[in-house]
């Protein structure tokens, strides 16, 4: 913003740099007259303190980072939004790092780590070994959408209860043949499938094995093509994007939703409401998730010792038409 330094301001104002600093940060007594002179010099030179100088002297960055695998879906974007909002509120800039399939992730993360006072890391983005390394380095770290790792805190949204409620709802519809789309061992999703399996078991319904696929529309489409020929009553999907893909596959196979097969998602992204048919799903408080992570991280940075606690935010079952016919009153747009 400006090329002038505190020295030039000091010279122009006829005082020492210490005084300039004190005047600018209100960090010590400065006479009104001096303050005035400094103020004038600052304006004349359009002086803005160098962030680098400040940070080096203060020993803090006043910035924190967030690491996520991708930003293509609405999921991460929403969480990021909530995160940035709260971080800004707390006076911290935010650095982002998307790992994608990039190689050299560890190096990039380490670079990021040197630029921030703390880090938020999404679910399975980083290996546990890497997380341990981060924790041991003393960098405050908060995990998102998974349970805490030693030396960190975590924030996620409720999975088991909502998954159970969703399964119960589907069973009430009369669905018996279940299929599950999406699911390597990601903490979040596996928690849901576990609850679904338990619920189905209690009702004496066969428990399907989840079919793995990328959490994208394309991934869901592929999964749909594999699952639908077996004529399931319902395909429960790891997230809404997968569900949208399954819907596409169903259309391709001339299957009617929910007539021939029901489909459910998870997250309640915008497209879920606009899908044809509108998607029954579970709403995650995405922004709140990000915001909560920012606050927890701030505490850690402030010096609170990590307790390996996982904070769990509530989710809502959102019943729409993709899971089967309802009396209109029950539907929600």
Catalog residues that contact DNA under the rule CB under 7 A: 5-7, 14-19, 21-22, 24-25, 27-34, 47-50, 52-54, 56-59
Residue among 53 and 229 whose Cβ is closer to DNA:
53
Of 237, 253, 103, the residue nearest 170 (C-alpha): 237
Among DNA, a second copy, none, residue 33 binds (CB under 5-8 Å by kind) = DNA
Q: What is the DSSP track for 263-278?
A: EE-SB--HHHHHSSSP
> Does 138 contact a second copy by CB under 8 A?
yes
Q: Nearer to a second copy by C-beta: 142 or 163? A: 142
Angle at 331 between CA 327 and CA 333, to 5 degrees: 150
Q: Where would I find the H helices in 90-157?
A: 105-113, 128-137
Block residue for tokens 């497209």: 271
Choose the contact partner of 1 out of a second copy, DNA, none; CB within 5 to 8 A by kind. Answer: a second copy
Per CB under 8 A, does 276 bind a second copy?
yes
Instruction: State how beta strands 310-313 and 316-318 pair.
Output: unpaired
CB of 13 to DNA, least distance (A): 8
Indicate whether 172 belongs to the interface with a second copy (CB under 8 A): no
Tell me: does residue 88 bind a second copy (CB under 8 A). yes
Q: Quick one: which of 14, 274, 307, 309 contacts a second copy (CB under 8 A)?
A: 274
Is-contact 123 186, C-beta < 8 A?
yes
Q: How many residues appear in the chain?
A: 333
Of 28-36, 159-167, 225-233, 243-251, the segment contacting a second copy by CB under 8 A is 243-251
- Using CB under 8 A, which of the segments 28-36, 188-196, 204-212, 267-275 binds a second copy? 267-275
> Rounded to the nearest whole angstrom, what is the least distance from the CB of residue 47 to DNA in the complex?
7
Which helix (H) or strand (E) covers residue 120, if one does?
strand 118-122
Q: Which does 93 bind (CB under 5 to 8 A by kind): a second copy, DNA, none?
A: a second copy
Residue of 30, 86, 121, 139 interacting with a second copy (CB under 8 A): 139
Q: Closest Cα to residue 224, out of 189, 187, 262?
A: 262
Contacts of 274 (CB under 8 A, 6+ apart): none
- Classify the phi-psi angles of 212: left when phi > 0, otherwise alpha if psi is within -120 to 50, otherwise beta: beta
Distance of alpha carbon 327 from its chain centroid, rounded? 35
- Decide: helix, strand or coil at residue 140: coil
Burial class of residue 302, CB neighbours in 10 A (0-12, 13-18, 19+): exposed
Residues 179-238 close enough to bind a second copy by CB under 8 A: 217
12 binds a second copy (CB under 8 A): no
Binding site residues, a second copy, CB under 8 A:
1-3, 46, 48-53, 55-56, 61, 63, 70-74, 76-78, 80-81, 84-85, 88, 93-98, 100, 102, 108, 110-115, 137-139, 217, 241, 244, 247-248, 270-271, 274-277, 333
């Amino acid at each position: 913003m400006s090329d002038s330094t505190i020295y030039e301001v000091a010279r122009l104002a006829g005082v020492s740099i210490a005084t300039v600093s004190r005047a600018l940060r209100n960090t010590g007594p400065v006479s009104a007259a001096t303050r005035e002179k400094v103020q004038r010099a600052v304006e004349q030179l359009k002086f803005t303190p160098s962030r680098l100088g400040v940070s080096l002297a203060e020993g803090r960055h006043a910035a924190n980072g967030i690491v996520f695998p991708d930003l293509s879906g609405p999921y991460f974007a929403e969480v990021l939004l909530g995160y940035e909002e709260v971080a800004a509120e707390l006076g911290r800039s935010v650095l982002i790092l998307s790992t994608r399939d990039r190689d050299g992730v560890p190096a990039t993360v380490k670079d990021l780590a040197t630029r921030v006072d703390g880090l938020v890391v999404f679910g399975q983005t980083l290996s546990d070994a890497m997380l341990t390394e981060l924790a041991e380095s003393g960098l405050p770290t908060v995990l998102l959408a998974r349970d805490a790792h030693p030396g960190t805190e975590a924030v996620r949204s409720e999975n088991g209860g909502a998954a159970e409620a969703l399964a119960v709802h589907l069973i009430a519809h009369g669905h018996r043949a279940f299929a599950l789309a999406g699911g390597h061992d990601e903490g979040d999703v596996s928690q849901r499938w576990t609850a679904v399996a338990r619920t189905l078991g209690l009702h004496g319904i066969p428990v399907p094995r989840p079919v793995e696929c990328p959490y994208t529309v394309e991934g869901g489409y592929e999964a749909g093509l594999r699952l639908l020929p077996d004529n399931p009553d319902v395909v429960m999907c790891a997230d809404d994007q997968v569900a949208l893909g399954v819907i596409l596959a169903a259309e391709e196979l001339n299957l009617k939703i929910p007539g021939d097969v029901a489909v459910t998602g998870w997250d309640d992204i915008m497209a879920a409401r606009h899908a044809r048919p509108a998607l029954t799903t579970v709403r995650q408080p995405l922004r709140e998730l990000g915001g909560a992570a920012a606050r927890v991280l701030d505490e850690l940075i402030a010096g609170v010792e990590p307790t390996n606690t996982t904070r769990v935010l509530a989710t809502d079952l959102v019943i729409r038409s993709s899971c089967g016919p309802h009396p209109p009153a029950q539907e929600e747009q």
